[in-house]
Each structure stands twice: as C-alpha cells, then as structure tokens.
Structure 1
Amino acid sequence: MKRRQTWSPALKSRPARIAMAAVVLAATGALTATFVSSGGKGTADAATSLAQFVPIQNVRPNVRDPRPTAAASTGRFTVNCGTNGNGKFSPDNPVAQPGIKNGAEHVHDFVGNLAITADSSNADLEASGTTCRNGDKSSYFWPVVRIDKSVRSGNQVQQALSQTQPAVVCPSVRDRLPAVPARTRARVDRLLTELDRLTADANERMTASRGRIDPAVNKQVLDSLRTRRAALIKDISATVGNAVGNRPGMVSLVDCDISYDGMHAAMHGTAHAASTKAGQVANPQVQCPTVRDKLPGVPDQALAEVNRNLDELDRQISEANERLVTTRGQGGAAFVDNAVLGPLRAKRIAVLDRIATAIGRQATRPQGLEVLAACTLNQAPAAPSAPATPSGAPTSAAALPEPQGPDFELPGNTGGIVRPAKVLIEYRGNPVSEVVPMPKFLRTLTGDAKPTSRGPANARATWTCSGFTDRLSDKYPICPAGRQVQRVQDFPGCWDGKNIDSDNHRKHVAFADKTTGACPQGFRAIPQLRITISYNIPRSVQVKGQYALDSFPEENHNPFSDHNDFINVNSTRAMQGITTCINTGKRCS
C-alpha cells in the first residue's frame, strides 16, 4: 500500500476529531487561522461556526459572464454520470496527490471512472468501466458534504495544533518508476537519495512553524522544494529514458504539500472512535506490496518484458478495485477472498515469476519476489515484509486512517454523508473563440483544499442555492424554503497546448479573463468543464449550521476550501464530438 513519504516523527495517524474554522486576510496581507471548535459528540450547538453560513439573499449578484463575440463557441455538451449511486467513496486524490494513499484526509465522491485510485496509471483508467451513460471514462470527484450535530471545543483544537509539527509530504518516486536499466541503477539510486535529502531539509525548515500555521513559510518551503525536485525528477526521467529510448513522464510527482495530520495523534479517542463500527470500511480498496521499488537493475535485453509485466501488475490491481465497487454487497463473508483476493494473488504469482525469469536470463535471478504476491484490503493486516529497496532508503511514515463505519468517517470528518440530488456535468464554450479538443488524460483541478495553509490565491467561491446562480458565496448558503443547496465549480478553460499535467498541477491550464473571456497568451480555449452539485438539505439543518464540507484538519470544514478534480479519459473521437457540438452552437449529450 502506498503511504505518505514524510520525515517527521511527530506524524502519527490515530482516530480523532479535529476542526478548524475561518480564514481572514489581515491588514498586513498575512493569513490568520482562527480555531473555534473541535471534537466530541454532544447535544447542543451547531456543528460548524454560524459565522460560516449566510442567507443567500444577503449575497449580492456577482456572476457576470463575458458578452459573446461573433467568434464565440456557444454550444454545450452534457454528460450524465450519476450521483455516485454505487458508493465509490475514497480519501485518495489522484490528481493533486498521486500515489499517496488516503492523502486527502477527507472523503471524495467519485463518478465516472470505476477503477481509479491514487495509484492508477493512464492505461488503468482507459481499461476501466464507468458510471457515465455515454461511456465517458473520465473521473470527476469532489469532497462530500455531511450533516453533523456535534459539539466542538475550540480549546481542544488549539491544543492539538500547539503540539503539531507541520511536515512535508511528497509523492514517492521510487515505486512509480519503470524498470531501471542495470547500467543506470547506481545513478538513479543517487538521485533518489538526493530527493530524500531535499525532503529532510525541507522538514528541518518547517520546525520553526511548530504549533502554528504560517502560509508564507509554507510557500517558501514548497516553492524551493518544487524547483529542486523538478530538476532531479527530470534527471531521473532522462537517465532511465535515454537508456531505453522512452522517457517516463513523472511531472505529476514533483509537487509536495504541508501536512498537519499530526493533529490526529494529539486528539485521539474522541468522536471518530466512538461513532464508528469496527470492521466496517468505506469503499474497500486492494492494497498490494509495491514491486517497482524492489527490483534490482534490469539488463537491457529484459527491460521491455519487465515493464510489460509491471504494467500488468498495475492493471490487475485496477481490475480488482473495480470489481470491489461493482460487486459491493454481493456474496457472503468469504466473497472478497474467493472472488477477488485469491484470484489476484494467483495472477500476481505468475507475473512475478515472469519478471524474475526475464531478469534471470541475462543476470542473477532475483529471489523472494513471490512474497509480494499476497494482497489485502485496506485496514487488513499488513502484507509480509518485502526485500529492501536497492538504495536502502527509509520507508515512509505510517498510513493515514482509513474511512470507517457506515458513514465512512475519518478524523475530523464525521456525520452522515448527504448524497447529491443531482450532478450536472457540462462542457461549455468560450465567448471569444472556438475551442480545441482537450488532450486525453489531461489532469486539472479547481479551487484549493488548503486556503489556510497555502493561502487563498487559488480558492474559489462555489456555494449558492437553486434559483440564485447569479451569485456565488465563499460561505455555506442558507436557502429559502424549497430551494436546493448547490456547489457550482468551474474548471480552467484554457490549455497550454502541450502538457497534460504540470509540476504544481495548475500551470498547464488557466482560467479565461473574467471580463473578456480570452485565454492568456500562449493558451488555447478548450471545452470548459462546469460541475453543479445539488443537495436536498433540510432548512432547519442549514439554519443551525449543521451541514459542512469534508476537509483537511487545518481547514475544519472551511467552505472556502471547496474544490473539484478531473481526469479526461474521453476517447479522442468522443472529445472531438464534444468540441464540434460546442463550436457549432448546439446542445448535446
């Protein structure tokens, strides 16, 4: 199972209930985090600060679309992918935190692609089934909304933060590499070790922020780390790629984050533990020992065969995860073992043997790979220990908690999940030009899950009520009777024409100008994705401030931390159809 790669001994993951309130921009321009609440089930007071709620009638109209020109693309293509009726919930974020299990620390609704996890490759995504009626295999996912009537104690949260050492979290490069040629193994290991050193140095810089949130320091640390990691990862890609004639794309692994999940350990034993039922796990996923990071250098003659088999191992896990979603609730207690894990183990044994044989034809056959065959489900006992990595690098920190109980709860994110009444997925045009097809496997996001610890520059107001879409709020809306709570999430509608991802997951796309609708210089208009999520939430719950967004611990359900993520897995033909529909001014689905 992939785990957070960190270097802070303070990071532990135990069930806890934590919460954080609003973010204000002080006169100096610095962000101040105000903690007002935290854990424990109770009988009085709102679950979230009432200061975070606003009657929608009190929000002035603020949505103004640019006037279309004669060259505008005015069509619209709608996709029906359902409302996550199959219950695909996960705290993974495959766009912002690839390869990091439970990295979001909050639960997402997933629609579209059925197999996607934090570890999914493009080939895995393309082979998946989908909930979308038109066959679109793209993945669309956003944080869930919960109703929770818990009482929270501000003192407990403040104390938890005071004991927390912020830690740098980075995607692992070791276990995402293709087979490393034997003649480059030593150099790749040195570069990987240097990546470890950069992370350790960044964590040393974070010691000055113990017990507090400092967005300015966070930005300095992450910007410097990103630049240096990008250079090293590019070097690793070139070293491996030049040997085999095909450079692996690893830009998605560059960006790191600042984690405050050490707060979990400081606040263990509260509502999360009390309100869950042991053994009940949300949206179980297969966890298997990693293989890529356990292999020695591979002889040139065996590289192609080993890489094919490594990809086959990934595909097998992806198929097993999809089967867990599509067969949920079927069979008896032994169904998963007999129908999923048993067959998966047999397939993995065969593939691991093929890998060992391919290497053994040209060099010493690696021993002990069969110990990597057995897989479990999340929260099951750990798999047998595997051979050490060639570099002897330290392993990552303990995994974050899995969602638990009938409500799929995580520390700080408890209460019943509100299922969307409707999810409207639209691809829209541009007011000043035609659109070009977005590339397959484009990754993009909107909003920011961490406006407190990273600053609000990328955060977006998304909240409104049905019938009031001329205004969006950065607070939770209180709607008139009979109206639905809505989240309207617009994605960037401009693309750099080259890249499907970037080192901060943002630079390869951009938002059009708010006034004119034109894309920035060097960017081209693509079908602009808008996702509108509607909820039937009792007005009494709204008035009492008892519904809130799942969030990272330092955000405490901050409505301004709303966000949405997307990976385009439309076929080239389907995306061309979407583009033609939009450019010809039609309404299609």
Structure 2
Amino acid sequence: MGRNTRKRRMPLATKIVAGAAALTVGGGGLVWANFYASAHEDHSGHNRTRSAAAQVATIDCPDVGQKIRDVPDRARGEVDGELATMDSQITNAYQRLATTRRAQAGDAQFVQNSILGPLKDRRKAIIDRIQLEINRAGGKADDNLDELAACQGRPADQMQNGDGQNGDGQMDDGQNQGGGDDNGNGVAGPVADDFVDINDVQPNTRDSRNGLAADGDGGSTGTFTTDCGVNENNLFNSDNLIAAPGVDNGAHHTHDYVGNQDNDAFSSDEDLANADTSCQNQGDKSTYYWPVLRLQDGTQEFDANDQGGGAEGNIGKILKPAEAQIRFVGSRQGDVVAMPKFLRVITGDAKSFTNGDANANTSWSCSGFEDRQVTDKYPLCPDGSQVLRTVNFQSCWDGQNIDSANHRDHMAFVQEDGSCANGFQAVPQLQIRLAYDIPTPTVENGQVQNPYAVDSFPEQLHKPITDHNDFINVMDEDLMNEVVDCINRGEDCQ
C-alpha cells in the first residue's frame, strides 16, 4: 500500500526528531514501555504500592489552539506552525514518558522534573512567540495564554485485571512484558475497556447531534449524495492541511483521503482547484479525510517506520472502508444557502481524550444495530455485521469566513430546534458514514486480542472518542448551486 510522494520540506528540527524516533523503532512500531509497570513491595507485610510517577499513563496539555480567537489573517500561518510545534513537543514528551518507566519507578519526581517541567518551559517560549506574532500583525493577543503552558501527567484510568495486575489484584513487579495496557504489541492502546459489545448498548440513548435529514413542512428535506470511492488510489499522509498548513506530519497520524487528489500540507487553494478528484461527479473536487482505522495484527504497513505511522505508535494493517457514503442534507427550519468555495470544517476533536468530550462527534455502531450508537467505545459486532463510523458536521456558517483562528468559530451546530444562532446561516449539512469489514476482536481476562483502533496523536492512546473528520469544499459553483436547489426542493439527488 502506497502513499502520496509529493516532495516536501523537512526542517532540521524535524529531521532530528525523526532520527531519534527511528532509534526506538522495532518490529514495525515504536516500542513503548509498559505503562503500568514498576511497582514496589512493602516488605513489612503491608499492601504493595506504586510510585505516583509509575501511574502516569499519558500527558494532558491544555489545547492552546482552541483558546486562540483574534489572529489576523497574515499571522495565521505562523501561528498554525507554532501550534504544530507544540503538538510535536507533546509527542516527544510522551515518547520520553513511555520509554523511561524504570527511571520513574525509582524517582517519584522524575516525571515532573525531567518531562513535565521542561515541557512547560518549551511551551511557554512558543506561547510568547504566538503572542508576539499576533500583536505584530495588528491583533491583540490574550495575555492569559501563559496559563496554558503547564501540562499534567494523567494517571491510568482503566486499571483492570490484565493491566499490570496479578491474580490477587496486586501489581506485578514491573518486569512483565506485554501487560494488558499494550495488548502485547508494544502500542499504547486500545485496551479492553475501550470496547463494548453492541448488544450491551442501550438503544436510542445517544443524541446524534442533529444528524437526520430535515422533516416537517418548514424544512429543506432533500439530500445530495456524492460518490468519491474508498481511496482506491491509496492517498495517505500524516498532514493536516486545515489545522497545520505547511507543516510536514502535522497530524502525527495517518489520514485516509477521498475526493481531491492533491491534498497534503503544502496544497494551496489553487492546487486543490486544479487537482483531479476521485468523485464520480468531476465538479466535486472537495477533500474529505479522516484518520485511518488499523487492525493491530502485526502487519507491516508502508508507514511502519515513519513519523505519523509506526514511529508514533500507529501500527498494523490499514483498513479501508468497504463503503464510504457521503451526503448533504437540509435544515429543519428552512432553506439552506450555498457553502463558499474552500470552506474548511473540522468536526470531532483529535484530542478529546485529554481535552474532554465537548467537541467529540463520531458515532460508532454496527450494521443492523443502528439504533445503538456510542462515542467513547469501539463496538464489538456480531458475525456478518459491519463496524459503522458516522459523523454529522456543523451546518451553521457565520456567512463571512471560510476558516477561523481555531478552525471552529466560523461554523456551529444547530440549536435544539434546528435553527442557527447568532446570525449564522444554514448550509447543507455534510454527513459521512463509513462501513468496515473487521474481524471482531476477542476480550478475555481484561485483555483484547487483535483490536482495531483509530490512528491518533500518540498521547491520545487510540481512544475512540478522539475520532474526527475534515472537509474542504471545492465544488464548482454550478454543482454547489445544484446541491442547494436539490435540498431546498426536497429531492434526492446525486
């Protein structure tokens, strides 16, 4: 399986990081240490205890990017680049966390003194630069951004039998290999608790975030479906053109792409407009992309030794969807208006495990069980049932901007009654439904065998809640008008 090979810049700092990461690669993936190892026995007969440091599973940093608002257009490129550097800092700190467990076990202050403290200083330097860049461009930087410099060590919150515990519930001595936290494959997750039998999910308990087509006399009830395939051209990369333009490996995980075929970190709007498309309707050059799913079965993929792939804990066989359904629907309250060309929309949050679930927006389910939806678990589907991954995008636009400083404020979800607030306008709502043929993982004694998982930033531990989806509208004007007319007339078009 290949990847796009467009030549890109690689700053010296990136080369150094890549070289350091390569030293730790073995067996096609980054060799992460056992997170829950290194316990100490109290020989006086009291309970065995772990040091506080040994309990730290990942690094939780405030998301500076989501807090930034007033960034002049001419400073956005520099600010996005600085934010991408902060992501790389977290990745590197997490790698150090995962590979120094023995040192942490011997020093309760190791994580704070050797990892979190230096990380805070590096983040503070970048925040200072961001503030300077904003002010130089004529904006007014938030003076309180400095409060976001410090990160926390997040304890393991999924301890269970198999996660470094022995049969009597006590911790092992830290010398075991392949504890329950890494499924024996050297990767930080997923763990057994990240999965749920779809039969155990209660029906109709999840709010699908205004995900159904409009109904009622006042709504625009039509739909427009665009068929863009399932990435038959093997277009993969670990960039993120929306959140980290101009930054190689800005996502730190690999994306699946359909639609536009010239999509990487260095693609301009002109590149997108002149590109080929995998969509059957050649007027749709939009780009639709999402993190790949992988089956952690030991397969050596094309990116097994690369940044964004195995070098950052994303290992195993990439699973293409058997079907990718992409459609646009209307508003419950009235007509929709055309999206502007090059409108950028991110839905979901790649950092939901540490940011919280306020922006989490993917529904996981199984075919035949669509009334049972979960956001924070991967479903275990019965034989013959496909894993379903569904997302419904924000459909209220501010009427002016194709992007915003935090890549969110120019778009919003509808209110409970289906209307748009604050003068926002209803645009066609993008809905993406991905169906996968995945062998059902087995969960026994607190461990999961051959799990599947979404690619993620390393410190997000492959949690299902971190799933997200990205879209850039590159439909030509005639096609966008056709989409709007179809939806407003209540027809089903393609």
TM range, smaller chain: 0.5 to 0.7
Q: Is the 8 A contact 2:336 2:426 kept in 1?
A: yes
- Compute the displacement of 1:48 (Å): 2.5
Is residue 483 of structure 1 aligned with residue 385 of structure 2? Answer: yes
CA distances 1:94-146 after superposition (whole Å, capped 9, x unpaired): 11111111111111100110111111111010000000000110000001111
* Equivalent in 569, 574, 577 of residue 482 of structure 2: 577
CA deviation string 1:402-453 (max 9, x = no partner): 46xxxx6442000111121000001011111110011000000110001234
Q: Which moved more, 1:34-43 or 1:544-553?
A: 34-43
The answer as to 2:413 corresponding to 1:517 is: no
- Matched-pair contact (CA < 8 Å) for 2:189–2:462: no
Q: Distance in 1 between matches of 2:378 and 2:481?
A: 37
SS state of the match for residue 346, structure 2? strand
> Which of 458, 468, 477 matches 1:563?
468
1:552 to 441, 452, 457: 457
In 2 relative to 1, CA 33–131 (structure 1 residues): closer, same or farther, beyond 3 Å?
farther
Gap runs ≥5 in structure 1: 25-29, 151-274, 283-378, 380-400
Q: TM-score normalised to the size of structure 1?
A: 0.52
The correspondence for 1:58, drawn from 192, 195, 200, is 200
Q: Describe how 1:169-208 pairs up with structure 2 within 5 A.
A: none
Larger RCO: Structure 1 or Structure 2 (Cα < 8 Å, ≥ 6 residues apart)?
1
Deviation at 1:3, TM superposition (A): 4.8
Among 277, 281, 289, which residue is 1:141 paired with? 289
User: Please, which of 399, 403, 426 is the counterpart of residue 497 of structure 1?
Assistant: 399
SS in 2 for 1:554: helix
CA distance in 2 between partners of 1:482 and 1:96 (Å): 37
Offset from partner CA, 1:173-220 (integer Å, 9 cap, x none): xxxxxxxxxxxxxxxxxxxxxxxxxxxxxxxxxxxxxxxxxxxxxxxx
CA contact (8 A) 1:17 1:413 kept: no
Moved more, 562-571 or 446-455: 446-455
Match of 2:74 in 1: none
User: How far did 1:32 drift?
Assistant: 4.4
Provide, for residues 325-350 of structure 1, a one-character-per-residue CA deviation record: whole Å limited to 9, x for no partner.
Answer: xxxxxxxxxxxxxxxxxxxxxxxxxx
Name the CA shift for 1:495/1:34 in 2 (closer, same or farther; >3 Å). same
Distance 1:541 1:140, change over 3 A: farther
Contact 1:46 1:545 in 2 (8 A): no
- Residue 191 of structure 2: aligned partner: 49
Task: Report the secondary structure of 2:312's partner residue.
Answer: coil
Worse-superposed segment, 411-420 or 60-69: 60-69
Q: In 1, Cα distance between the equivalents of 2:356 and 2:457? A: 14
Structure 1 CA distance, aligned partners of 2:331 and 2:393? Answer: 13
- Residues 523 and 43 from structure 1, CA distance in 2 versus in 1: closer, same or farther, beyond 3 angstroms? closer
Q: How far is 1:47 from its partner?
A: 6.2
Residues matched between the structures, number: 335
- Distance in 1 between the 2:379 and 2:182 partners? 25
Query: Residue 269 of structure 2 is aligned with which of 92, 113, 122?
Result: 122
- Structure 2 residue aligned with 1:434: 335
- How has the CA–CA distance of structure 1 residues 18 and 130 changed in structure 2, closer, same or farther, with 3 Å as cutoff? farther
Preserved contact between residue 48 and residue 545 of structure 1 (Cα < 8 Å): no
Give the CA deviation at 1:466: 1.3
1:337-376 aligned within 5 A: none
Give 3-state SS (helix, strand or coil) of 2:290's partner. strand
Distance 1:429-1:127 versus aligned 2 partners, 3 A rule: same
CA distance in 2, matches of 1:44, 1:128: 39
The answer to whether structure 1 residue 472 and structure 2 residue 377 are counterparts is no
Question: 1: CA distance between counterparts of 2:156 and 2:207?
Answer: 29
- State the shift of 1:512 in Å: 0.8
Aligned partner of residue 582 in structure 1, secondary structure: helix
| TM superposition shift of 1:10 | 8.6
Deviation of the 1:43 alpha carbon:
7.6
- When the two chains are superposed, the root-mean-square deviation of aligned CA atoms in Å is 3.4
In structure 2, relative to structure 1, the CA distance for the partners of 1:472 and 1:565 (3 Å cut) is same
Are the counterparts in 1 of residues 296 and 450 from structure 2 also a CA contact under 8 Å? no
Tell me by how many angstroms 1:63 deviates: 4.2
1:457 alignment partner, one of 355, 358, 362:
358
Contact 2:228–2:280 (Cα < 8 Å) also in 1: yes
Question: Equivalent of 1:87, from 234, 237, 240?
Answer: 234
Q: Secondary structure at the match of 1:539?
A: coil
AA in 2 matched with 1:507: D
Greater percentage in helix: 1
Q: Distance in 2 between matches of 1:3 and 1:122?
A: 22
Aligned-pair identity (%) = 42
Q: Secondary structure at the match of 1:538?
A: coil
Cα distance change on mapping 1:523 and 1:560 into 2, 3 Å: same
- Evaluate the alpha carbon distance shift between residue 31 and residue 490 of structure 1 in structure 2; reply closer, same or farther with a 3 A threshold: farther
Q: Which residue of 2 aligns with 1:321?
A: none
Distance between the aligned counterparts of 2:334 and 2:393, measured in 1? Answer: 17
- Give the CA deviation at 1:556: 1.3
Tell me what 2:132 maps to.
none
The answer to whether the 8 A contact 1:18-1:556 is kept is no
The alignment's TM-score, normalised by the length of structure 2, stands at: 0.61
Which residue does the alignment assign to 2:349?
A: 448
Question: Residues 22, 423 of structure 1: CA spacing in aligned structure 2 closer, same or farther, 3 A cutoff?
Answer: farther
Find the partner of 1:112 among 249, 252, 259.
259
Say which structure is richer in strand.
2
Give the distance between the partners of 2:347 and 2:13, measured in 1 at CA.
Answer: 26
